[in-house]
Amino acid sequence: MRCKKCQEKAVIGLPRHNAAFCKGCFNEYVHDQVARAIKAQRMFGQKDRILVAVSGGKDSLALWDILLKLGYQADALHVDLGIPGYSATSREKVERFADAVAASRQAKLIIHVVKQEEGAGIQELANLVNRPTCSTCGTIKRYQFNRAAVERSYDVMATGHNLDDEAARLLGNVLHWQVDYLEKQGPVLPASVEGFARKVKPLYRLAEREVAAYAVLNRIDYIVEECPMAKGSKMLLYKEVLNHLESESPGTKQAFYWGFLDRQTETRPTAGSMAEKDQASLHPCTVCGQPTTADVCTYCKMMARAQAASPR
């Protein structure tokens, strides 16, 4: 197998593009896909300050690496969830990357420790509020990322969702006809009101195996295991189904998700009209001041329940 661009020995084949690349040309391809995503979706500019949500997995660390190499000012936030046997390793990977790569580019790592700030690890908190671990986790991560981005004046928050993640989410939303979610699903979620950070997904043009290959080829040391709480999740099932289709018919995932985005641009509400709609229903939480549709935001309600239920 030869590189499509320079005829050197290829290290990876990309059936969906009918191509193969050597390491150098593959890195160029990855950087180019991210640069295109940023430009096509007007995600941010060279002067913007970006906060990357890093878990310690391949996608978020690769994203941080790529943004820094493309010359962006990108700091990162890691949420230490306090999951025994998983969170300590994840944090270690993030810290190691920050010391080895990010520090030399003047990028900062912020760490939020759930055990310290919320008073208990994620599983214990979920038990206290009687909610599934992943939904408790989602509430905390969304809240803390948004808060960090707004309080520290970042222009935009970036996450490492790749093509596989987005195609799987789309499949789930279509299977259950989650029309509200379908309307909002996309690589850019505009800053809807003051107090809500703009969110972007610069890896949406890259498949999961491409991001994994990028991380390996560039010696990014990431946590390989999935979070133990993800076991049996519907997202993993949808990914499996899509992988099966992809292996039979390369390009299926891309056609599915990008096709959705193309059609959505014709019908999707504009950033301005979404902001207006949100502005009408959102106001500051009476406890913490972050935007919410109720008097008290989900996070503050959850924390009050946890406090009431925790043994004194």
User: What residues line the site for ligand SF4 (CB under 6 A)?
Assistant: 122, 133-134, 137-138, 227, 229-230
Site string for Zn ion, 13-52 (x = CB under 5 A): ---------x--x---------------------------
d(CA 122, CA 134): 9
Residue 300 interacting with Zn ion (CB under 5 A): yes
Give the number of residues in contact with Zn ion, rule: CB under 5 A.
11
In the list ligand SF4, Zn ion, none, the entry touching 76 (Cβ below 5 to 8 angstroms by class) is none
Residue 216 interacting with Zn ion (CB under 5 A): no
Q: 141, 137, 134, 164: which is closest to 233 by C-alpha?
A: 134
Residue 3 interacting with Zn ion (CB under 5 A): yes
3-state DSSP of 225-240: CCCHHHCCCHHHHHHH
Shortest Å distance, C-beta 121 to ligand SF4:
10
In the list ligand SF4, Zn ion, none, the entry touching 133 (Cβ below 5 to 8 angstroms by class) is ligand SF4
d(CA 87, CA 55): 9
Shortest Å distance, C-beta 218 to Zn ion:
16
Cβ-based nearer residue to ligand SF4, 33 or 60: 60
Joined tokens for residue 165: 């993640």
d(CA 312, CA 307): 9
Joined tokens for residue 263: 């059609």
Cβ-based nearer residue to ligand SF4, 228 or 289: 228
Shortest Å distance, C-beta 289 to Zn ion:
7
Element (H, E) at 73: strand 73-80
Provide the residue type at 70 as one letter.
L
Q: Which residue has the tokens 């972050």?
A: 290
